[in-house]
Amino acid sequence: MGVSDSEKYASDLDNQSPIGGTPPIGDIELGEGGLKRSLKGRHMQMIAIGGSIGAGLFVGSGSALSSGGPASLIIDFIVIGIMLLLTVNALGELAALYPVAGSFYNYSIRFIDPAWGFAMGWNYAMNWLIVLPFELTTAGITIAFWTDPNNTGTPSINVGVWITIFLLSVVVVNIFGVRGYGEVEFVLGLIKVTAIIGFILLGVIIDCGGVPTDNRGYIGAHYWHEPGAFRNGFKGFCSVFVTASFAFGGTELVGLAAAEAANPRKTIPKATKQVFWRITLFYVISLFLLGLIVPSDNENLSQASGGNTRYSPFVLSFQLAGIKALPSIFNAVITLSVLSVANSCTFAATRTVQALCARGMGPAIGARVDSKGRPYVVLIVTLLFGCLAYINEASTGSTIFTWLLSISGLSNFFTWGSICFAHIRFRKAWAMNGRTTDDLPFAAMFGTIGSWIGLGLNILCLIAQFYVALFPIGGKPNAEAFFESYLAAPVVIMFFVGYKLYYRQWSLGVKLSEISIDEGRREVDLDAFRAELEAERAEKATWPWWKRTWDFWM
């Protein structure tokens, strides 16, 4: 199978102790048996722009609008958006310099603490392993929009049939390796981007009363006054943060894909900058228009979760406007979007687990990669996890699935916060070695100040979720409800403490003075690399101001 290089690497790591200082990061994508660097610039940019747009935005925003109102929806998504903009910039700097497999947890191991990196790696992997069957189930349920048009609860074709079809589709995509993932994401990303731009244009027309079949006429900001901008007070405001984080989940995939990018020094910065436009255009503007044309007290919105796309606020907006064809068309877009996220789940889970195993933090067999660059052992296990979607067919399936999803509930906040803190620690180590930002292939646009703000916002979101978990909307404190919302926190602590106890590593944090800052880089000749960077900067200095501004943001 051509696995000798990866197996040798995993075997070498098995003989090392990850205790004491920072273990070396192997460039495991090198060699005949390594991950293939097949992702081009267009793949990376589309992964950044539309990679994670799915049910969180198209469906989950409905329940968020119902619980928090249009003002909470926009404010919370802007807060999470700013947090992600700062986080992805920090990640972009690290990934452009160290495009290694399993980037997120590797940065935590290297710059924070090996135990914390271990916890973050498995937390991130578990998140995607569990979200995969959820997305497959969601994709299956979206079909009920057509197979059960009257919402009787008994579609003409069982959802298990569609789960099987969609799971096989994911299998087929992964047969073609990372290139297959990139091409599918590129095509589906274009569809999602086109659909959202179309919604924005139509949303303006609906709000201005330009749809002949809409008997409401000009709407303007009426729904911000009646039923109101906010719902359920401060609890409602806090509750939207979790929906927003789920909707933004996957934004960091551009960093994970760096190890398989053909030229990360060129593509990572461009992909990182695209996040700004995705946040502004695809989330903020579309949700602002959504709050203008769909009243937050619509009884259908409270049921907008999972795959209940008939209650999607986007679909509902067309139905309220009396447009007959678009609800079906947009539901098809949602189905494809969910499949896209399921595809991303497989990519994220396999690459993270493979990197963990290659580092000696999992079974050595999981590090194996075939001659086509596919981590085939982990891929098989991940696809078997997709079969958990069939649990929903059992009588107690929904309860079991709810608890499984609880494990991943806070995963994004831990991942994003760790990226920000790893960047802060990296900059300290970088400066201690006499390096400056001029030596970086890409410097985060907002520096370490942005990472401190991003870290603080992640902590505030965790506090807000703790408050809502402890005091749920419309209910009293309940242990079961609390752990359903906050189970991920004790799981992360368990991984962290378990690592410390197993390896008897009692110290906290790595010593920055012991970090070799040039390990894990693709550039071998650093003098030639610096000369190349200086030549590029000298050329950009001759550009007119508008071109420099375009390059800064694009």
pLDDT of residue 269: 76
d(CA 91, CA 85): 10
At 68, list the tokens.
């928090």
| 341 within a domain of the structure (yes/no) | yes
d(CA 85, CA 46): 16
d(CA 401, CA 392): 7
Q: What is the CA radius of gyration of the chain?
A: 23
Three-state secondary structure of 330-343: HHHHHHHHHHHHHH
3-state secondary structure of 542: coil
Task: Tell me which residue has tokens 């700013």.
Answer: 82
What stretches of 164-206 adopt beta strand conformation (E)?
none
- 66-106 pLDDT tens trace: 888 999 999 988 888 888 889 988 988 888 888 776 677 88
Residues whose CB is less than 8 angstroms from the CB of residue 388 and which lie 6 or more positions away in sequence, other chains included: 130, 133, 401, 404
* Element spanning 66, H or E: helix 60-97
d(CA 426, CA 458): 19
List beta partners, residue 261.
39
**pLDDT higher than 70, residue 409:** no
Q: Using alpha carbons, select from 98, 116, 84, 104 the residue that is nearest to residue 248.
A: 84
Tell me how far CA of residue 269 lies from CA of 179, 293, 494, in angstroms. Answer: 20, 36, 35
3-state secondary structure of 39: strand
Instruction: Read off the pLDDT band of 127 (50, 70, 90).
Output: confident
Helices 41-50 and 264-277, packing angle to 10 deg: 30
Tell me how far CA of residue 506 lies from CA of 19, 494, 497, 498, 503, in angstroms. Answer: 10, 15, 10, 11, 9
d(CA 489, CA 63): 24
Question: In the predicted model, what is the mean pLDDT of residues 228-240?
Answer: 85
- 129-154 pLDDT tens trace: 888 888 888 888 888 888 877 776 67
**pLDDT higher than 70, residue 38:** no
Q: What is the DSSP letter of 89?
A: H
Read off the amino acid at residue 301.
Answer: L
Q: Are 373 and 36 in contact (CB under 8 A)?
A: yes
| 431 within a domain of the structure (yes/no) | yes
Question: In the predicted model, what is the mean pLDDT of residues 260-279?
Answer: 70
pLDDT of residue 445: 86
| 499 within a domain of the structure (yes/no) | no
| 512 within a domain of the structure (yes/no) | no
d(CA 440, CA 97): 7
d(CA 339, CA 68): 28
| Angle of CA points 257, 261, 262, to nearest 5° | 175
Query: In 210-325, which residue ranges form alpha helices assigned H by DSSP?
Result: 222-223, 233-248, 253-256, 264-277, 286-293, 313-320
Instruction: Read off the pLDDT band of 214 (50, 70, 90).
Output: confident
| 524 within a domain of the structure (yes/no) | no
Q: How many other β-carbons are positioned within 10 Å of the β-carbon of residue 161? A: 13
| Angle of CA points 421, 109, 492, to nearest 5° | 75
**pLDDT higher than 70, residue 220:** yes
pLDDT of residue 49: 63
pLDDT of residue 429: 92
pLDDT of residue 420: 95
pLDDT of residue 304: 63
* Element spanning 130, H or E: helix 114-142
Instruction: Read off the pLDDT band of 425 (50, 70, 90).
Output: very high
Task: Tell me which residue has tokens 């949303």.
Answer: 203
**pLDDT higher than 60, residue 454:** yes
Q: How many other β-carbons are positioned within 10 Å of the β-carbon of residue 479? A: 7
pLDDT of residue 12: 39
More confident residue, 11 or 414: 414
Which structural domain range is residue 228 located in?
Answer: 4-397+416-465
pLDDT of residue 28: 40
d(CA 225, CA 213): 24
**pLDDT higher than 90, residue 417:** yes
| 407 within a domain of the structure (yes/no) | no
**pLDDT higher than 80, residue 301:** yes
More confident residue, 260 or 550: 550
- 512-543 pLDDT tens trace: 888 888 887 766 667 777 787 788 778 888 88
The CATH code of the domain that includes 449 is 1.20.1740.10
pLDDT of residue 95: 84
**pLDDT higher than 70, residue 422:** yes
pLDDT of residue 66: 87
Q: What is the DSSP letter of 366?
A: G
pLDDT of residue 323: 85
- 362-376 pLDDT tens trace: 888 888 887 777 788
| 188 within a domain of the structure (yes/no) | yes
d(CA 98, CA 266): 13
Tell me how far CA of residue 189 lies from CA of 269, 275, 351, 486, in angstroms. Answer: 19, 14, 21, 32
Instruction: Read off the pLDDT band of 456 (50, 70, 90).
Output: very high
pLDDT of residue 9: 35
Tell me how far CA of residue 540 lies from CA of 226, 263, 546, in angstroms. Answer: 52, 20, 11
Average pLDDT, the chain: 79
**pLDDT higher than 90, residue 419:** yes
3-state secondary structure of 154: coil
Instruction: Read off the pLDDT band of 115 (50, 70, 90).
Output: very high
Per the structure, how many domains does the chain have? 1
End-to-end CA distance of the chain: 41
Q: How many other β-carbons are positioned within 10 Å of the β-carbon of residue 484? A: 16
| 491 within a domain of the structure (yes/no) | no
